[in-house]
Structure 1
């Protein structure tokens, strides 16, 4: 496979600050999804809702955000979020705290899910990645993270010139 289709964190095309910016932007829909899940989880303690709403609404929300974030970008905004409320330590601690709240109310399964999501994210429900991938492949024919950097910073990568 060519470099255009495989993104590695140790790639030689972007410097460390650029890689941080790419990751902050790329992971933002999933990070917002986690917070939307927690809001609905806490809301459901007082106004019960079906499990598929608690999981489905954040999934759809993250896909809509991916479309928005593909078209609107502010480096400072995404970096600030990733280094504060979306930082792995923050989400991990919040996942545990919300898990404790769920245990207190007798929802053991949701407690476990909250902790897992806080530490690892949703992974299986990260359908927003498909939105990014479709946009990147249809517009730039390269990996989403390279396409993002090309779109917002006008970068031309060596693999584009080489036809790799």
Structure 2
């Protein structure tokens, strides 16, 4: 385990067991428990759900620095004086490592949506439309996201500059592969 640095020599916790009842539920409920991590393109940082911020907040997303073991909270929900309840999961780095995107939810205020975060300036913005999720960068100006289209789940191409979305392929879970 990489973080926090003071527990690097400890055993990993056991894998959680997911019951059939927990696996059913809505997309929002299934995403809540996502423990996906995303390594920065240069391997120096990792974005993950949880971290030291969980001692203050109910749910959080962290960027950890591999060399130092340091952590930076990039999204937090509930606790620490925050009255919002939600989560930030499924992180994804842009190829240059300057931007990080994730799927977010805030109960009562913000349904599922994608947030993009500038790791240098700290500025964040929404990408795509409500109910978009599982974002992956194609390049600096485009990404793919799972979203709703024609009554089903589709992989959509999102223009990060203009905000437009184009249906690409029926289904979900975008996975960007290098061109041949």
TM-score tier after normalising by the smaller chain length? under 0.3
TM (norm. structure 2) is: 0.22
Question: Which is greater in Rg?
Answer: 1
- Greater helix content: 1
- Greater strand content: 2
